[in-house]
Structure 1
């Protein structure tokens, strides 16, 4: 049984909409073939469409057709210049998630009396670049990169989008009562709040991980996504508690990126990281307690980076120069810390006698519950 066997009736029209673009050009949207992940299990089905495989003078029309059951796109422009449009849509069973790249255009909701099929989903859109402006029932709103916007496909709205790359989560109204309540309260608005930014981070992480997620894990993935929506749009204590695991994974990955970007910054410390993450001192302590604290983790990452530089035969710098770049001002201190971490000296790595960094056993990841694996994997990658 594959993921399509679990599609709820309200999602069938959603999948047809994205498959519709293939009608005139099979080369752009081949039927999705089951693929296996590195573990041998089937991955989540994904549909793709790219206007570059369509004759130039038909590219914009094909893009319009691909959205015709949910949006009316603006009238035809100079077709001789072509139109850039790319989309990948993952079928999550009771949800759909997509990444869309589009040139600038205008859009409007499809009037109810003209629809070929009933579409009454919410669309949660996160621009990765560019911006979207919308006029809805309660007035206008707009948002740019990093800000989730909520549209209701069953109601009137119109607007425009610049050249943009975006992520979109489609949520049927009957998916979950609490999710529906949260989205009803937030529809036709930009969620520019601290919790809204957390939802943005979750979307970005989801887009990165989906190609490797096994189809058998869809129930856990959908549950975590619904919990994030409830926690970020209706942040009651109960909702936030339910979403603690996915929230912690989002924050941990964000912390990892911040640390990696500041490895060479001597002024970077726990206080700066806490400010960048916008969390409490206690929250930061709990996050990094498994790693021996923020500063221990930071030093570990700097030593890992130094190890890679020392093992690189093309890096001819002196050991002390590599150490100083990573905020070690004393060569002897660097050598002692390096040996404590890896069990051998920087000189042995530079001489080629040691090159590989020992990794932690992965057995605990394989035996963990599916919803815990991403967090464990991130911790393993952290060292």
Structure 2
């Protein structure tokens, strides 16, 4: 095991930052003492990358590479002084949680001409010290210790972070509808409210206790985290979209069923779905905006279905036949879309090197280069 692979417990500096960030609205929590009933019970997978294990003149480039799937960092001509960065990332299945220490730097979302290859998740960031300044589509905002910030990786933004420690939660856009609309209404803003502070306290407690949580508790942990986000961000959004009402949720479920039944229909499009649902163009746009739009969601479902067919050893059809059935007329286009979605090619699935759930298994992430693991885990959320 080298310096990259060590997952160190929270140190004194981090504990001091936890206390500082939570001081404004501390919440008393009893420390969990999980009871292990079997030697097969395991901890939640966690991965650490620390630039101190990289040659000094390569530290900044290595740090940039670890975030390259979601952000670009400003250029630095002088690499000789190195760069101090450390990240610990936990794989929560349908969420990814990280604890990050970084030196000051400038950041920007992936440029427009390559954005289709970028990740499309929401991030909830809580600085433990230092501050983050962002310019986004609707203007600028800034947040310091203990203040939740919401960004959308699928849209343009840029900014600057000071020397900081922070916590980040990554939430896939194709999440549950209610949570998606809460986050869509809150993106590119700070949540400097009493409820926002409560969410910050929850994240701080989560970071301190995750090393003791076992994998069999993941469903409850993810459910509790999603419920906290919904409860704490809803008051700050002010103008939550109508798709949060029970009627709109029923409509969204109906829309999904219609799309699933028309996966193989090349004539099916947003207009046809709007006609079947008997709703306005604006209503349909609002319904699927958190998922990247109707056609983006439809392609995602077609690719998931193609993945299942390719992984089925009893399906002997050629890759192009499977692609054409799912409305991809060009094999190269299908391969590019498939790799963007899952991080590997249709041929790898067909050859048996990738199978089952369309995501990168934890074992593969563990054997990847340390600076690649965050990107792989975030790609995994798209599955």
User: Alpha-carbon deviation of 1:112?
Assistant: 4.2
User: Alpha-carbon deviation of 1:116?
Assistant: 7.8
Q: Secondary structure at the match of 1:101?
A: strand
User: Alpha-carbon deviation of 1:234?
Assistant: 1.0
User: Alpha-carbon deviation of 1:111?
Assistant: 1.9
Cα deviations by residue, 1:199-219 (Å, 9 ceiling, x for unpaired): 000000000110000001100
Contact 2:6 2:48 in 1 (8 A): no
Aligned residue for 2:107?
107
Q: Secondary structure at the match of 1:234?
A: helix
Contact 2:70 2:118 in 1 (8 A): no
Q: Secondary structure at the match of 2:123?
A: strand
Aligned residue for 1:86?
86
Cα distance in 1 for residues equivalent to 2:58 and 2:195: 41
User: Alpha-carbon deviation of 1:173?
Assistant: 0.7
Cα distance in 2 for residues equivalent to 1:140 and 1:109: 15
Gap change, CA 1:116 and 1:66, over 3 Å in 2: farther
Contact 1:87 1:98 in 2 (8 A): yes
Aligned residue for 2:232?
232
User: Alpha-carbon deviation of 1:29?
Assistant: 3.9
User: Alpha-carbon deviation of 1:49?
Assistant: 0.1
Pairing 1:177–2:177 present = yes
Cα distance in 2 for residues equivalent to 1:31 and 1:116: 34
Pairing 1:193–2:193 present = yes
Aligned residue for 1:163?
163
Pairing 1:48–2:48 present = yes
Cα distance in 2 for residues equivalent to 1:45 and 1:107: 28
User: Alpha-carbon deviation of 1:76?
Assistant: 1.7
Cα distance in 2 for residues equivalent to 1:116 and 1:152: 14
Cα deviations by residue, 1:213-237 (Å, 9 ceiling, x for unpaired): 000110000000000000001149x
Cα distance in 1 for residues equivalent to 2:168 and 2:35: 26
User: Alpha-carbon deviation of 1:55?
Assistant: 0.4
Q: Secondary structure at the match of 1:80?
A: coil
Cα distance in 1 for residues equivalent to 2:67 and 2:50: 13
Cα distance in 2 for residues equivalent to 1:38 and 1:213: 10
Aligned residue for 2:217?
217
Cα deviations by residue, 1:52-74 (Å, 9 ceiling, x for unpaired): 00000000000000000100001
Structure 1 length-normalised TM: 0.52
Cα distance in 2 for residues equivalent to 1:111 and 1:177: 28
User: Alpha-carbon deviation of 1:28?
Assistant: 4.8
User: Alpha-carbon deviation of 1:31?
Assistant: 10
User: Alpha-carbon deviation of 1:176?
Assistant: 1.2
Contact 2:74 2:106 in 1 (8 A): yes
Q: Secondary structure at the match of 2:43?
A: coil
Q: Secondary structure at the match of 2:140?
A: strand
Cα distance in 1 for residues equivalent to 2:117 and 2:6: 22
Give 5+ residue unaligned stretches, structure 1: 1-25, 237-383
Q: Which has the larger radius of gyration?
A: 1
Aligned residue for 2:252?
none
Give 5+ residue unaligned stretches, structure 2: 8-33, 237-383
Cα distance in 1 for residues equivalent to 2:184 and 2:42: 35
Aligned residue for 1:130?
130
Q: How many residues align?
A: 207
Alignment of 1:1-383 (within 5 A): 27-30=2-5, 39=36, 40=39, 41-115=41-115, 117-235=117-235
Cα distance in 1 for residues equivalent to 2:167 and 2:189: 16
Q: Secondary structure at the match of 2:80?
A: helix
Cα distance in 2 for residues equivalent to 1:235 and 1:116: 32
Cα distance in 1 for residues equivalent to 2:214 and 2:56: 37
Cα distance in 2 for residues equivalent to 1:222 and 1:96: 10
Q: CA RMSD in A?
A: 1.9
User: Alpha-carbon deviation of 1:38?
Assistant: 6.7
Contact 1:69 1:116 in 2 (8 A): no
User: Alpha-carbon deviation of 1:46?
Assistant: 0.4
Aligned residue for 1:338?
none
